[in-house]
A = this chain, B = another copy of it.
Amino acid sequence: MQQGIQLILNNISKIVSLTKEEQDLFVSKLQYIEYKKKEFFLHEGQFSNELNFIIEGCVLVYYTDHSGFSHLIQFAIEDWWVGDIASSTHNKPTQLNIQAIEKTKVLRISKDDLEYVFEAIPKLERFFRILVQKRVANLQQRIISSLSKTATERFIEFREQYGFLENRITQLQIASFLGVTPEFLSMIRRKLNSSKK
């Protein structure tokens, strides 16, 4: 856990610098949690009242539609933040599922504590504002790609951006993220491989 605290403070210090006292206050609000592989952080219909920082592991954020198909909205690994901003901003039950796909260690802060530290340490509110802005940039890029690119182009873009994940998540999950069937992704991969040599 001690290493995790170093990691989270380091993550924050890339954007804002906190004094020792501010760090201690923030850290005092963190809860350390471990999830086993396949365990859920959050189920559809629950209220999302926490934000999680991943120390170790990998989680998926997905939406399950009325026909039971899952659609991968986001994934997160160590040194990333994960939570349902939509649910906690609008105080509505989440539509999403958040699930560990490896043994995962997180530091968690509740919504109430987060609001408290924002009040006490405005620099932290700045940090989170910038974090959320980066998320906007990321989501917007994904919309641009979904509107203007073919599945093959989106797969190539995925590899460039998230290639380091290719051994941690399955083809099924990549297909779900790209918005194609696994069968079609398999075809895309075959075509790319044969044209490569």
Structural contact, A144 and B95, CB atoms closer than 8 A: yes
- Determine, out of A122-130, A163-171, A189-197, the stretch whose residues face the partner at the interface: A122-130
Q: A73-B140, A85-B133, A122-B125 are in contact. List 11 more A-B contacts (CB 8 A).
A: A73-B144, A73-B147, A85-B136, A86-B140, A89-B130, A89-B136, A90-B134, A95-B144, A118-B126, A146-B146, A146-B179
Chain B residues, Cβ within 8 Å of A95 = 144
Count of residues in A whose CB is under 8 Å from the partner chain: 34
Structural contact, B89 and A134, CB atoms closer than 8 A: yes
A131: min CB distance to chain B, Å: 9
Identical chains bound together, number: 2
Q: Is the interface of A mostly helix, strand, loop or mixed?
A: helix
Closest-by-CB residue of B relative to A95 is B144
